[in-house]
Structure 1
Amino acid sequence: MTSVDKPTPEQAAAAADQKAVTQAALFDAFGGIRGTLETMLPGLLFVMIYTVNKDVKMSAIAAGTVAVLLVIVRLLRRDTVKHAFSGVFGVAVGVAFALFTGTAKGFYLPGMIYGAGLGVAFTLSALVGFPLLGVVLGPVFKENLSWRTRNPGRKKAYTKASLAWGIIFLAKYAILFPLYWWGDATQLGWLLIALKLPPMVLAVYFTWVFLAKAPPPIDVFAEMEAEEEAERARKAAATGADRRER
């Protein structure tokens, strides 16, 4: 690489800042390590109890109780609860299905349908040019939907990332659904736990790679604040001119 090709110190610092901002935003959007573990714990507890005593009702109640306790702990500590609430909602639906069907597979089915649906949604959104990940992460980066028309480099990155999420999710549930129909409930539960974290980590990693190399986001909130400040300055100037004329 020649000296012309090498990035300047300013460019290297800007690239490092962009990677750090992207990493922080992704942690915020997806709940980080703690949020991921909290979503895993109720399902893990369900599988462990069911493996030991095959009692669907006890397993479901224990999973639901833990999910609620996790939300209460966050509320008491005044932490953000958006990921905890989404997790407890998913567990509640799974508990309802398990108690209604009387089978352990009923606990897993809503989450599997939801995950497969997300895989389809991510894939289709990327193919039609309106990547779902951009809709999700746009507010996190304070760019909203500006990437669609004003930042083609980020739109391309969001498209690649959304396609990666879609492919990873669809591959995951292509493995799980055959086991749901023809396999053992206990085996399905443990496989679900095993496949909970690795695909998510892989999808987030691809998202980080694509977005870290993309142009920086356009801060539409800062633009709006600047426009409001300029408008106030114009009104103040106009008011001052009127007073001088009088």
Structure 2
Amino acid sequence: MSEGADPREPKASELIGEALGTAARRAGLDPSSSATTGHVVWKAMGGWRGVVESVLPSLIFVVAYTVSRDLVVSLIASVGIAAVFTVVRFAQKSPPAAALGGLIAAAIAAVLSLLTGNPSDNFVPGLLTNAAYGTAMLVSALIGWPLIGLAAGYLMGEGVAWRRDRRKRRAFFWLTIAWAALFAVRLGVQLPIYLSSLDPANRESAVALLGTLKIAMGLPLFAPLVAVTWLTARALYVRRAATPDADAADAPR
């Protein structure tokens, strides 16, 4: 261990902060940026391309299944459009991560639905993702290492020094709790509908409702919370830049 290192500081914090911070920077969420809030949020959603890539596979699946009642045809249509998005990104030499991730998720969902014969299983990966993200956010906040703080600390080059500032600790705690609540709300609303689809009599209505809710509770909830997170983080660090001694004044004694 290097001289002056805090033995109580978990070594994983730097790795997690770096990973989260790098992802946030790639998404345009850098508190030091002078971009407008609208620009930041739009970039985080991936612009028009990101919106279309996020919404269209689920929309096509729901429409195709509602019209045809054919699970295989609906899955082929959904996975096919995700594959097209990925191929286009590779052809244009643009970052393929988002489209490739969507393709992998669509393929996994398709395999699961084919194995069970339940079209609502197409939404299971999304339910699991919300459960995992929500749990990670909640646990990180409760143990005093909120993931939003780790990402912001890496982006601003201060590591975990923000933990010595009560103002930042509170802000990052509540921001992380807000993200946990977003994932929990999605799961709380959609899971009962999925469970109802286990009864074959409810499957057709459940597919349409789950597809609608996935879209309605996706970007429309994601965008405002991105804006709040970015504005809060930027305000914290703007204040620090304007008053260098603010952190020391707020530090626990």
- The reply to whether TM is greater than 0.5 is yes
Aligned to 2:190: 176
Tell me how far apart the structure 1 counterparts of residues 174 and 34 of structure 2 sit (CA, whole Å): 17
Does the alignment pair 1:195 with 2:210? no
Which of the numbers 126, 137, 146 marks the counterpart of 1:131?
146
Identical pairs, percent: 29
Aligned residue for 1:75? 90
Q: 1: CA distance between counterparts of 2:159 and 2:40? A: 16
Q: TM-score, normalised by structure 1?
A: 0.70
- 2:234 equivalent to 1:212: yes
Q: Structure 1 residue 38: deviation in Å? A: 0.8
Contact 1:23/1:208 (CA < 8 Å) preserved in 2?
A: no
TM-score by length of 2: 0.68
After superposition, what is the alpha-carbon deviation per residue over 1:149-176, rounded to whole angstroms, capped at 9, x for unaligned?
A: 5776555443322111111211121111
Q: Is the 8 A contact 2:66 2:208 kept in 1?
A: yes
Do structure 1's residue 112 and structure 2's residue 134 form an aligned pair? no
Structure 1 contact 57–102 (Cα < 8 Å) conserved: no
Q: Tell me the matched-pair count.
A: 202
Q: Which residue of the other structure, out of 87, 93, 98, is the alignment partner of 2:102? A: 87
What RMSD, in angstroms, separates the aligned Cα atoms of the two structures?
3.0
TM-superposed CA distance for 1:25, in Å, is 5.9
Q: What residue ranges of structure 1 are gaps of 5+ in the alignment?
A: 1-15, 219-246
Larger radius of gyration: 1
Pair 134,86 (structure 1): closer, same or farther in 2 beyond 3 Å: farther
SS at match of 2:237: coil
Query: Does the 8 A contact of 1:125 with 1:132 survive in 2?
Result: yes
Structure 1 position 178, deviation (Å): 0.9
Equivalent position amino acid for 2:85 in 1: L
Aligned partners of 1:57, 1:79: CA distance in 2, in Å? 31
Verify the 8 A CA contact 2:179 2:225 in the aligned structure 1.
yes
Report which structure shows greater RCO (CA 8 Å, sep ≥6).
2
* 8 Å contact from structure 1 (residues 133, 161) kept in 2: yes
Cα deviation for residue 18 of structure 1 reads 5.1
Question: 2: distance between equivalents of 1:68 and 1:154?
Answer: 42
- Once the two structures are superposed, residues 88-132 of structure 1 have per-residue CA deviations (whole angstroms, 9 ceiling, x without a partner) of 221121111111111111101111111122112112212222122
Quick check: 129-138 or 203-212, which moved more? 129-138
SS in 2 for 1:179: helix
The structure-2 alpha-carbon separation of the partners of 1:160 and 1:56, relative to structure 1 and needing over 3 Å to count, comes to: same
Equivalent pair of 2:37/2:227 in contact (CA under 8 Å):
no
- Is the contact between residue 64 and residue 74 of structure 2 (CA under 8 Å) also seen in structure 1? yes
Name the residue aligned to 1:121: 136
Gaps of 5+ in 2: 1-30, 198-205, 241-253
Q: Which amino acid aligns with 2:184?
A: L
Deviating 4+ runs (over 4 angstroms): 16-19, 21-30, 135-139, 146-156
Q: 1:149 to 1:190 in 2, by over 3 A?
A: closer
